Amino acid sequence: MDYVSKITPQIIDTPDEESQAMLSQLENNNPDIYEQMKKNSPFFHQLNNAQQGLLSTDQELQKLNDEERLTHEMYTRKSALNHKRVEEKQKLVFKKAFKKAEQKFYQNQLKISKKKKQTQQQIDFYEAYFKELSLKMNKDLKYFIHPQKKMQIGVINYQSGFKSFNQPYIRTILKSKSFRSEIKDYILNHFVREVQEEMSYKLLKFIKFCSRMYEEALKDFQMNSAKNDDEEYFRNFIRLKMEQSILKNSKCKIPWSLQEIIDAQKFALNLIDQEMDMENE
């Protein structure tokens, strides 16, 4: 029996050639529409539910094809092994919060003056939030500059005193009362929703990656093991290949789960509260 032909890779049901051609054209010419179509698929919704901590029933899983069930299995198994470190949590939250504070400041600056150069706007941002604090702490302003940013005005170079976006840097910028207030509002009211939207697109990328790995596993079977007509051997062969490509591949990342996003939010708010308590002592 030809088990390869029984298990045809697919993500959404498009059995006729005309539909396949339309999808291909959509993907090439208008990827946004293509992504929306994929998001409307039952399989995407099941993985999206898993991302939010909701388990699929056996009845729901039975409606999936073999490729989708295997992808679902790879996701849930990798998710169980996926533990976020403190460094990952703080970078996810505070880098996004920092960026949002910058964007808001620059937008307000443009309302005042559209003639300022971008570098000067960046310097203005650090001076607005951290200059008073730098004087109070007797620390150069460079210790408040984002570690991944370099600025220059004339012959003066502005570069961070920190090598990475680590906890010492985060605790330093959190000593600014105005900056704390700005990012706390974002973390409380916008962070979870915005990151969830990002993770939705990353989930689509994960599905695409798994689909590609599945197709490669099928091709590998056809080239090297097609003479073996045992169905159990075939399924184990495909599963093993998928495990090597996904579970054991450190470069294959799954999106953050809703619980991980909430945990990161709580971690960040706790760090902010700690700085506020220290200030009030």
pLDDT digit string, tens, across residues 93-134:
999 999 999 999 988 887 766 666 767 788 889 999 999 999
**Within-domain flag for 73:** no
Q: Quick one: three-class SS letters along 33-56?
A: HHHHHHHCCHHHHHHHHHHCCCCC
**pLDDT at residue number 28:** 55
**Within-domain flag for 26:** no
Residue 16 scores a pLDDT above 50:
no
Percent of the chain with pLDDT over 70: 81
Residue 20 scores a pLDDT above 90:
no
**pLDDT at residue number 141:** 87
Task: Give the global pTM.
Answer: 0.79
* Whole-number Å distance between alpha carbons of 36 and 205: 13
**pLDDT at residue number 113:** 67
* 149 pLDDT tier (thresholds 50, 70, 90): confident
State the total domains in the chain.
1
Percent of the chain with pLDDT over 90: 48
Q: In the block, which residue shows the tokens 């961070």?
A: 160
**Within-domain flag for 43:** no
**Within-domain flag for 179:** yes
pLDDT digit string, tens, across residues 234-257:
999 999 999 999 999 988 989 999
Quote the mean pLDDT of the chain. Answer: 82
**By three-state DSSP, how is residue 231 classified?**
helix
**Within-domain flag for 257:** no
**Within-domain flag for 51:** no
* Whole-number Å distance between alpha carbons of 114 and 48: 43
**Within-domain flag for 79:** no
Its domain, for residue 146, covers 92-186
**Within-domain flag for 274:** no
